[in-house]
Structure 1
Amino acid sequence: MKLIYIYDALCGWCYGFSPVIHEFVATNKLDCEVLSGGMITGNRVGPIGEVAGYIKTAYKDVEERSTVRFGKDFLNGTLEEGSAVFTSIPAAIAMAVFKNVMPKHLLDYASEIQRAIYHQGKPPADHATYANIVIKYGIEPNSFKELMSKTEYFDQAQDEFDHVAQLGVSGFPTLMLEKDDELFVIAKGYLPVQQLQANFERTLNM
C-alpha cells in the first residue's frame, strides 16, 4: 500500500496542501510517491503578469482555507513585476533529478520548491531556484544544475506528465491510494487533514 501524490510546483492549492500531506504521511507512516502534473506547459507558459489578476484573487482563497502564507517577495516582487516566466517544466526536471539522487526526501523537496517560489519569490524558470535548495540535503548546487540540463531528466519529467494524464488526473492536488493493485482517489483538490484522514480510513475499509 502506498500513496501517490500528484502535484504541480506552480499550483497554489498544492502549496496550501503541503502541511496537510506532510502531517497525513507522518501520522499514517505511509510511503508516498510524488508525481509532477505539468500544469503550466505548452501554450500556457508565459510571463506571470498574464495570470497575475487571477493569482491576486486566488491566493487569498488558499490562505483562508489553509495555514500557508504567500510571501511579500512573491506578492510585491515577482507578481507585481510580472516578467518572470511561469512554467512547470524546470521544477518537474528538478524533481526528476532529486528523485534519482535522494528519493526519500522527495516530498520535503517538493514543499521546499513551492516555498521558494511562493514565499521567497524565486523565478520558476531559473534552474538556480531549484539547485540552491539542495544544499541542505548535502548536494552540491552546481552539480545539481548540470544534471538538470541533461536530456534524460527532461524526458523523465515529460514521461511523468504523460503518466499523470494517463491516470486521468487534470487537477491538483490529487492524492491516490494504491491498495491491492487498485487505485483509489482519496483527495481531489485541497482538503483539511481531518477530511483526508476520514477518506483514507473509509477507503481502507472498502
Structure 2
Amino acid sequence: MNNSIKIIYVYDALCGWCYGFSKVIKECYETHKHEFEFEVLSGGMMIGDRVGSINNIAPYIKSAYQTVENTTGVKFGEAYLRVLQDGSMILNSEMPSIALSLFKEYFPDQSVLFAHEIQNALYFDGREPNQIDTYRNIAVNHGIDPDEFEVKMKMESSKEAAYYDFALAKQLRVESYPAVLIQSSETSFHLIAKGYTDSATLELRIENVLKEIENLNV
C-alpha cells in the first residue's frame, strides 16, 4: 500500500447525489483499497437550523430523485418513496455522522462500505436517519456488538468526533457533496470529483494526479 496517498471522500448521508455516487466510490475503493488509504468525512449538510421535516423539501426531492436515477442508474426504493409521500421524517445529519465517525474507530479502512450501507438503509429501505436501530443493524453486519455500538453512539466523545469531521470537510473547502480528494502530503490535496462523477472519469483523474505527483517527485 502507498501510505503517502489517501483518497478522501466527503459526503453526507442525507445527500441524494451521494447516494447516486455511492456505487462509484465503492467500486473505486474495491479497485484501490490495497494501494491507498481511504477515509470518509461527513459534511454535516443538515445540522443546526437546517434540520427540518422532509415535507419542507419534498416537492424538490420528488423531481430531483428521478434526475439522480436517470443520471447515475441508482434506484430509490419503494419504502423511501413512501416515506417521501408521508412527509413526517425529520432530516438531521447528526446521527448518521456520529455512526460513521464511531465506525471508523472500529474499522477505519472500511468507512466507504459503512457510508454505502447507511445510504442504502435510508434511500432504498426507507429507514429513519434518527433511529438508532438503523445503525445497530449495520454494525451487526460488520461483527460489531450492537448494544456496545448504541452505548458509544450516545457518548459525547462520539458526537465530538462527528463535528470534528464536519470541521475537516470545511477546512478542505468542500461545500457541496459528493466530493473526492487525493491527499499526497500533509498540505497537498487534489480535487478529483465535485458532484456526481462516473467511474471512468474518476479513474482517469486518479491516474492523472498520480502522474503529476510522480513528476514532482522525480
Matched, 1:155 2:182: no
Whether the aligned pair in 1 keeps the contact of 2:29 and 2:112 (CA below 8 Å) is no
1:27 corresponds to: 31
TM normalised by structure 2 equals 0.91
**Do 2:16 and 2:65's aligned partners in 1 also have CA atoms closer than 8 Å?**
yes
**Residue equivalent to 1:10:** 14
Matched AA of 1:70: F
2:40 counterpart SS class: strand
Q: Name structure 1 gaps, 5 residues minimum.
A: none
Name the SS of the counterpart of 1:35 in structure 2.
Answer: strand
Structure-2 separation of matches of 1:204 and 1:119 = 35
Report matched runs for 1:67-146 at 5 Å.
Answer: 67-76=73-82, 78-146=83-151
1:19-55 CA-partner distances (Å, limit 9, x unpaired): 1111122223432111010011111101111111111
| Per-residue deviation, 1:201 | 1.4
Is the 8 Å Cα contact of residues 6 and 182 (structure 2) preserved in structure 1?
Answer: yes
Matches within 5 A, 1:34-49: 34-49=40-55
Q: Deviations over 1:81-139 (max 9, x none)?
A: 11111010000000111111222321111100000000000111112211121111111
| Other structure's SS at 2:130 match | coil
Alignment partner, residue 51 of structure 1: 57
The one-character-per-residue Cα deviations of 1:131-168 (angstroms, maximum 9, x if unpaired) are 12111111122221111100000011111111111111
Equivalent-residue separation in structure 2 for 1:144 and 1:28 (angstroms)? 28
SS at match of 2:177: coil
SS at match of 1:171: coil
**Post-superposition, which runs of at least 4 consecutive aligned residues in structure 1 deviate over 4 A?**
none
Q: Distance in 2 between matches of 1:204 and 1:44?
A: 38
TM-score by length of 1: 0.96
Whole-angstrom distance in 1 between the partners of 2:165 and 2:138: 22
* C-alpha contact 1:131 1:145 (8 A) present in aligned 2: yes
1: CA distance, partners of 2:68 / 2:57 = 16
Q: Deviations over 1:56-87 (max 9, x none)?
A: 111111111113110000002x1111111101
| SS of aligned partner of 1:176 | strand
What SS does the corresponding residue of 1:205 show, helix, strand or coil? helix
Contact 1:112 1:133 (C-alpha < 8 Å) held by counterparts: yes
With 61-70 and 145-154 compared, the bigger mean Cα shift is at 61-70
The alignment of Structure 1 onto Structure 2 pairs a total of residues equal to 205
Aligned to 2:139, what secondary structure does the other structure show? helix
